[in-house]
C-alpha cells in the first residue's frame, strides 16, 4: 500500500508542474484515442468488408463430392469389373450431374453437426431464361425453402414489396433491378425456361433490394420443388448452405465436418483466400501502428519523468537524507507515471468515444443511391478498458527507469553539492 | 554525566576505488551528550563532512563503532539506516533544499509526513509554534521560492527538529548566507538546542561561530587535533 508520504509527494509534483503534466497527459490521451479509433474503425471496415462478402453467401457450402478420374489399371484394385473393358472402344458416358440425392436424410445431421450452426438451407441452383413479352434474359434460378434460406440471405427484411417467407409453388421472388428491367410488379406473370427447355409460369410474389449485387441482379428465388422441376433434378438438390453464429469460426467448423460427411465441405475463407489475406495484412498494419503509438506514448511519459527526476535531484537527495527509503522514492515516480497515464485515459477514452460517435452519425449516399453510414462503428467497452490498461501499464513501465534512477540518488553527493 | 546521544569509538573511514585505497579518517573517538552544541572545524578536505556523514548514518565506517542512543549503528543496512535517520536524527545542509511544491509548514513537517498522517497531525501544533518562534508565523502557507535565503534556512532549521531528534547534524548551515542572516540562523540553532535539549553538531569554517559552541572538535588530515575544548562533555 502506498503511504501518505508517497501519495502526497507524487500528487504535489504533478500539480506543481502543470505544463509538464498536461503535456504528458496529452500524449497519453492521444495514444489512447488512437488505439480506440484505429481498432474500431479498422475493425468496423474489416467487419463491413467481411459482411459484404459473406452476407449473401453461406459461411459453409456442402456440395456433392468431386468425381476423381480413375486410371484403367486402378479399376481392379477398386473391386470394379474389368472383364468388359476394351481398349479403343468409344463409350458415351451419361452426362453426370453433381447432385445430392438423399438430402432429406442428411438435413437433420447437418442441423445438429455443431452448436455454431444457425441455419442449414437445401439449395437447387442453375441457369435459366426469364421471358416476358419480347424481353429475354439469362438468370440464376435458386430453389429454396424460404423459411430456411432467409437465414442465409435476409430477403424478408429487405423486401420492397410482397413476401418471401410463405411463398408457394408458382411464386417467384426477385430483385428490384431485375423487376425494373422487366417492368414487373407484384402478381405480374413471368416465364422461366430451364436448361433442358422446360418452361414454367410464375407469378411475382416479392421484390427486394439486399444491397448485394449478385443477389439483386440476375437471380430469382423459387420454391425448392419448383426449382427441382425447372432444373429437372427430380428430388435432388445442388448443395446445402450453412450459416454460423460466428463466421470467423467457419474454417474450423468446416474442418470438423469433413470426416463426418461424404461431401465436399468448404468454408467462405477457402472460397475467398484473397479477401482473408487482405484482412490479415490490414490487421497486422493496424497492430504495428498501435504498437508504435504505445511505444511513443511510453517514451513521452518516460522522458518527462527523466526531466522531473533530473530537476528534483537535490530534493530527492534531501528526502533520502531525512530518511526516505529508495523504495519510497521509486514508488513516488512510478505512481506519478501511473497517475499521468490514468488521467490520460480519463481524457482519451471520452474523446475517443466522442470521435467515434461523431463518425457514426455521418451519413452519405452510396453508389447504389442508398443513404448509409460510411463507418461501421460498434463501441466495445472491452476495447475502452483494454486501451486504458495498456496505457496505464505503459505508464508504469516507462516510469520504472527514471524512478529507479531517483531511488539510487546518493544523498552524500547532494550534500557535497556535486 | 548524561548518557551520550552519539558515541564514536576508534572510527576510521577509507574509500576504495579498485586497488586504490584512500584513507580519510583515522581513529576518531568522542561522544556528544544531550543538549550539547558542538562545532567541528578544519580545513578543506580534512574529513569534516565525512565525519558528519558517518555520524548522520549517511555512510558506514570502515573501522570502529558508532552508537546512537547506545545502539550500535555502524553496520546497519541501508533500510535500517534510513529508518534510524527518519526517527532519531535531524539534518540541516548548506543549501536548504526545501521542496518548492509544499508550503513552509508542510516543508517543516516533511520528516513527520514520512512517519504517517497521524504523526504529522500530532506534530503540527508544535511545528507552528517553532515557526512562530523563528519569526515565520505569517509565512506558514507561503511556498519556499517566495522566501529570502535566510528565511528558507530558518525553515530548514525548524524542519530538522520535526521528529524531536536526539541530535541534529548541520553541514555549514550558514555557509550560503550573508553574515547577518548567518548570525540569525546560528543564534536560532543555539536557542533551539538550549530550549529543546537537542544536541547539535555543526560543521563550520567560521571561527566566530565555533568559539560560541559548547565544544569545538578540530580535525586535520582525518585526525582529531588536540583535546576537544568546550563547556560540556569534554573528553
Q: Give ipTM to 2 decimals.
A: 0.87
Q: Is residue A230 assigned to a domain?
A: yes
Looking at residue B133, its pLDDT comes to 84
CB pairs < 8 Å spanning A and B: 74
Q: What end-to-end distance do the CA atoms of chain A give, in Å?
A: 34
Q: Within this chain, do residues A32 and A103 fall inside the same structural domain, yes or no? A: no
Q: Between A280 and B64, whose confidence is greater?
A: B64
3 state SS of A183: coil
pLDDT of residue B11: 94
* Residue at which a domain ends, from A262, A295, A323: A262
**For residue B161, pLDDT beyond 80:** yes
- Domain tally for chain B? 1
- Looking up residue A152, the CATH number of its domain turns out to be 2.40.40.20
Mean pLDDT of B52-75: 92
| Cross-chain Cβ contact A318/B97 below 8 Å | yes
Interchain contact B119–A (C-beta under 8 A): no
Query: Which pLDDT band, with edges at 50, 70 and 90, does B231 fall under?
Result: very low
- Write down the pTM of the prediction: 0.71
Of A213, A239, A262, the one marking the end of a domain is A262
pLDDT band at B234 (very low <50, low <70, confident <90, very high): very low
Residues A391 and A367 in one domain: yes
Q: Which of B101, B108, B145, B176 to mutate to test the interface with A (most CBs of A within 10 A)?
A: B101
Q: Are both A380 and A280 inside the same structural domain?
A: yes
Q: Any chain A CB within 8 A of the CB of B83? A: yes
CB–CB of A286/A2 below 8 Å? Answer: no
- Looking at residue B96, its pLDDT comes to 73
Same domain, A307 and A257: no
Residue B233: the pLDDT is 40
Report which secondary-structure segment, H or E, holds A129: strand A117-132
Q: Give the model's pLDDT for residue B227.
A: 57
Q: Has residue A80 been placed in a domain?
A: no
Of A4, A16, A415, the CB nearest to B93: A415
Burial string for B63-81 (b: 16+ CB within 10 Å, else e) reads bbebbbeeeebbebeeeeb
Residue-number span of the structural domain to which B135 is assigned: 6-230
Q: What is the pLDDT, as a whole number, of residue B235? A: 38
Contact list in A for residue B94 (CB cut-off 8 A) is 415, 417
Average pLDDT over residues B174-195: 85
A318: chain B residues, CB-CB within 8 Å: 91, 93, 97
Q: Is residue A253 located within the same domain as residue A280?
A: no
Q: In terms of residue numbers, what domain contains A116?
A: 97-262
Cβ contacts of B117 on chain A, cutoff 8 Å: 4
Instruction: Examine residue A62 and state whether it is found in any structural domain, yes or no.
Output: no
- What pLDDT sits at residue A147? 95
pLDDT mean across residues, chain B: 88
Contact B85 A328 (CB under 8 A): no
pLDDT at A85: 62
For residue B235, being part of any structural domain is answered with no
pLDDT in tens, B20-29: 999 999 999 9
Count of domains forming chain A: 2
Highest mean pLDDT among A407-416, B36-45, B170-179: B36-45
Task: Extract the residue ranges of chain A whose pLDDT is less than 50.
Answer: 418
User: CATH no. for residue B37?
Assistant: 3.40.50.300
A235 shares its domain with A280: no
Choose the final residue of a domain: A215, A230, A262. Answer: A262
Q: Does A329 contact chain B (CB < 8 Å)?
A: no
Residue A317 resides in a domain:
yes
Average pLDDT over residues B82-95: 89
- Residue B169 included in any domain: yes
Decide if B153 is inside a domain: yes
Amino acid at each position: 500500500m502506498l503511504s501518505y508520504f508517497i501519495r502526497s509527494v507524487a500528487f504535489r509534483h504533478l500539480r506543481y508542474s502543470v505544463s509538464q503534466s498536461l503535456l504528458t497527459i496529452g500524449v497519453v490521451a492521444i495514444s489512447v484515442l488512437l488505439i480506440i479509433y484505429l481498432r474500431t474503425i479498422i475493425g468496423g471496415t474489416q467487419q463491413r468488408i467481411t459482411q459484404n462478402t459473406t452476407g449473401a453467401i453461406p459461411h459453409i457450402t456442402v456440395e456433392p463430392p468431386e468425381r476423381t478420374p480413375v486410371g484403367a489399371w486402378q479399376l481392379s484394385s477398386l473391386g470394379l469389373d474389368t472383364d468388359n473393358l476394351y481398349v479403343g472402344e468409344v463409350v458415351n458416358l451419361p452426362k453426370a450431374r453433381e447432385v445430392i440425392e438423399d438430402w432429406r436424410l442428411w438435413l437433420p445431421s447437418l442441423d445438429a453437426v455443431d452448436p455454431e450452426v444457425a441455419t442449414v438451407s437445401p439449395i437447387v441452383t442453375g441457369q435459366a431464361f426469364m421471358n416476358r413479352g419480347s424481353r429475354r434474359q439469362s438468370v440464376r434460378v435458386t430453389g429454396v425453402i424460404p423459411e430456411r434460406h432467409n437465414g442465409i440471405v435476409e430477403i424478408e427484411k429487405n423486401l420492397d414489396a410482397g413476401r418471401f417467407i410463405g411463398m408457394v409453388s408458382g411464386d417467384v421472388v426477385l430483385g428490384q433491378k431485375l423487376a425494373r428491367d422487366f417492368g414487373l410488379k407484384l402478381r405480374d406473370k413471368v416465364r422461366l425456361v430451364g436448361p433442358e427447355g422446360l418452361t414454367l409460369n410464375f407469378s411475382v410474389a416479392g421484390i427486394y433490394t439486399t444491397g448485394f449485387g449478385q443477389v439483386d441482379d440476375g437471380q430469382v428465388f423459387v420454391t425448392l420443388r419448383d426449382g427441382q422441376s425447372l432444373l429437372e433434378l427430380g428430388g435432388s438438390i445442388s448443395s446445402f448452405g450453412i450459416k454460423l453464429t460466428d463466421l470467423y469460426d467457419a474454417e474450423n467448423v468446416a474442418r470438423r465436418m469433413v470426416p463426418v460427411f461424404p461431401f465436399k465441405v468448404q468454408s467462405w475463407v477457402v472460397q475467398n483466400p484473397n479477401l482473408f489475406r487482405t484482412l490479415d495484412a490490414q490487421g497486422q498494419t493496424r497492430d504495428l501502428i498501435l504498437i508504435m503509438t504505445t511505444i511513443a506514448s511510453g517514451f513521452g511519459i518516460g522522458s518527462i519523468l527523466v526531466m522531473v527526476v533530473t530537476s528534483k535531484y537535490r530534493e530527492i537527495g534531501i528526502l533520502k537524507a531525512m530518511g526516505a527509503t529508495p523504495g519510497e522514492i521509486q514508488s513516488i515516480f512510478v505512481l506519478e507515471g501511473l497517475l499521468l497515464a490514468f488521467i490520460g485515459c480519463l481524457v482519451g477514452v471520452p474523446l475517443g468515444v466522442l470521435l467515434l460517435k461523431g463518425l457514426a452519425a455521418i451519413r452519405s449516399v452510396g453508389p447504389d443511391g442508398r443513404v448509409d453510414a460510411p463507418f461501421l462503428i460498434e463501441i466495445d467497452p472491452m476495447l475502452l478498458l483494454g486501451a486504458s490498461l495498456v496505457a496505464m501499464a505503459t505508464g508504469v513501465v516507462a516510469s520504472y527507469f527514471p524512478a529507479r534512477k531517483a531511488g539510487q540518488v546518493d544523498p552524500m553527493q547532494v550534500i557535497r553539492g556535486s | 554525566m548524561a548518557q551520550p546521544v552519539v558515541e564514536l569509538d576508534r572510527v576510521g573511514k577509507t574509500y576504495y576505488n579498485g586497488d586504490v585505497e584512500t584513507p580519510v579518517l583515522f581513529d576518531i573517538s568522542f561522544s556528544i551528550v544531550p543538549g550539547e552544541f558542538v562545532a567541528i572545524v578544519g580545513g578543506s578536505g580534512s574529513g569534516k563532512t565525512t565525519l558528519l556523514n558517518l555520524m548522520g548514518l549517511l555512510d558506514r565506517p570502515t573501522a570502529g563503532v558508532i552508537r546512537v542512543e547506545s545502539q550500535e549503528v555502524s553496520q546497519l543496512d541501508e533500510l535500517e539506516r534510513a529508518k534510524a535517520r527518519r526517527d532519531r536524527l535531524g539534518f540541516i545542509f548548506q543549501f536548504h533544499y526545501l521542496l518548492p511544491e509544499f508550503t513552509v509548514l508542510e516543508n517543516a513537517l516533511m520528516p513527520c509526513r514520512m512517519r504517517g498522517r497521524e504523526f504529522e497531525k500530532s506534530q503540527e501544533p508544535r511545528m507552528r509554534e517553532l515557526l512562530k518562534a523563528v519569526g515565520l508565523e505569517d509565512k506558514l502557507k507561503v511556498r519556499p521560492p517566495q522566501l529570502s535565503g535566510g528565511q528558507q534556512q530558518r525553515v530548514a532549521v525548524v524542519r530538522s527538529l520535526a521528529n524531536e531528534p536526539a541530535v541534529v547534524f548541520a553541514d555549514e548551515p550558514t555557509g550560503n548566507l550573508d553574515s547577518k542572516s548567518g548570525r540569525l540562523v546560528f543564534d536560532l540553532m543555539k536557542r533551539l538546542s538550549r530550549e529543546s535539549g537537542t544536541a547539535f553538531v555543526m560543521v563550520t569554517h567560521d571561527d566566530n561561530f565555533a568559539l560560541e559552541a559548547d565544544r569545538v572538535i578540530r580535525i586535520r588530515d582525518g585526525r582529531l587535533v588536540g583535546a576537544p575544548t568546550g563547556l560540556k562533555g569534554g573528553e
